[in-house]
Amino acid sequence: MTAVIHVERLTRRFGSITAVDGVTFCVEEGEVFGLLGPNGAGKTTTARLLNGVLTPSEGQMQVLGLDPVTQGSAFRQQTGVLSETPSLYEG
């Protein structure tokens, strides 16, 4: 199988608050995957990181063979994300 999402030590801080803390996981092609947790657990932040809307403080990720940080625009042309607080992002 091929990993369509690969995340290693993904971390995102907002000042002194750590929203995502060293998350590592892989999602294989055809696999169903979900992020579960209470409010404030970092689920939405992780989704925004994976979609290239936010930049990680540390760690690496690859989605569909692309790096959302450096190839965010090309990546978002292939995907669609609707979070709990809908908003627009630049191309």
Q: Which two tokens stand for residue 1?
A: 């199988």
pLDDT at 89 over 80: no
Domain boundaries, the chain: 3-76
Q: In the CATH hierarchy, which fold is given to the domain comprising 3-76?
A: Rossmann fold (3.40.50)
Stronger pLDDT, 74 or 20, i.e. the higher one: 20
Segment 66-75 long-range contacts (CB within 8 Å, at least 24 positions apart): 75/51
Average pLDDT over the chain, rounded to whole?
Answer: 88
pLDDT of residue 79: 76
pLDDT digits (tens, 9 = 90+) for 36-76: 999 999 998 999 899 888 999 999 999 988 999 998 777 77
Model pTM score:
0.84
> For residues 50 and 68, is the Cβ–Cβ distance under 8 A?
yes
